[in-house]
Amino acid sequence: MAKNLRNSIATSLNIGLRQSLTSGLVETWTPALLSGLQLWLDADDASTITESSGSVSQWDDKSGNGNDAVQGTGISRPNYGSQTINSKNVVNFSGGKFMTTGYPPALNRTIAMVVQYSSLAQLRVAMGARESVDERSYFGINQGRVRAGVANLSSLNGTGGIATYTTYTQILKHGQGAVNREVHHYLDGTEDIDQTFTGDIGSGQNYMIGGFNDRGGVHNQQYSGLMGEMIITGNMLGDSDRQKLEGYLAHKWGHTASLPADHPYKSSTPIA
């Protein structure tokens, strides 16, 4: 009888676990769980968007740090509500639109962004800032190839063959490693830039999205395309957190097919 009771209890527990998993009671991982989270912009959350007739003046930071993205000039405001990625609303930065966040670059940073480029002509900077010619932190593409710049490394080249209207997750991280200062870029979970650097980043200007904050002005080689989500942390994320972030974004924005076959979150979203 005791054996039957134990088996009955075990069966009930297994059924309860399966029901919890299938009914969504297990908490899904989100960027809110990242150590060092400083900025989180999520276009799918309409409550964070301040707009008038689709013209966005403010995009609220969900990290709780108040590093909102703002644009006070009407002609430079991006658009919202007319286009989607994976049936989710996005912000459209095409046509010279940009916003400035409340958060600056520094030595240790990780920046993640879900993007769809609508133009591949020349350099298109999706986000970044620089205080001087050699103090910078940015990424985008250049004629269909991933381009990043960190400190005095102005033209780091990554994956080529970037296509228009295709969803990508780009992650740039830089900072002090165990021995050297390091910069890494990942495109959909695959590292395509791995370098060391010796210069400074500079923190006199805040990050711009949809463009490049060039010593207080907007650089003329701006991003053109859609943006779903952006996350910045004040550290260099380790591989475990980076992969959780990649998995979360890929499942949410519908591009898991682009993750490497051995990615730990290719088939399922990370859980808390």
Confidence of residue 149 (pLDDT cuts 50, 70, 90): very high
* Position 10 pLDDT exceeds 80: no
* Position 11 pLDDT exceeds 60: no
Given this model, what pLDDT does residue 24 score?
Answer: 54
What percent of the chain stands above pLDDT 70?
91
CA atoms within 13 A of residue 125's CA, in its CB half-sphere: 26
* Position 23 pLDDT exceeds 80: no
* Position 103 pLDDT exceeds 80: yes
Secondary structure class of 243 (helix, strand, coil): helix
* Whole-number average pLDDT of the chain: 92
Q: Which residues contact 157 (CB under 8 A, 6 or more apart)?
A: 142, 145, 146, 147, 193
Given this model, what pLDDT does residue 176 score?
Answer: 97
Q: Mind spelling out the 3-state secondary structure of 125-172?
A: EEEEEEEECCEEEEEEEECCEEEEEECCEEEEECCCCCCCCCEEEEEE
- The answer to whether 226 and 156 are in contact (CB under 8 A) is no
**Which residue ranges make up each domain of the chain?**
28-258
pLDDT tens for each residue of 29-74: 999 999 999 999 999 999 999 999 999 999 999 999 999 999 999 9
* CATH T-level fold of 28-258: Jelly Rolls (2.60.120)
Given this model, what pLDDT does residue 18 score?
Answer: 42
Given this model, what pLDDT does residue 121 score?
Answer: 87
* Position 9 pLDDT exceeds 70: no
pLDDT tens for each residue of 237-268: 999 999 999 999 999 999 999 999 999 999 99
* Position 171 pLDDT exceeds 60: yes
Q: The pTM is what? A: 0.90
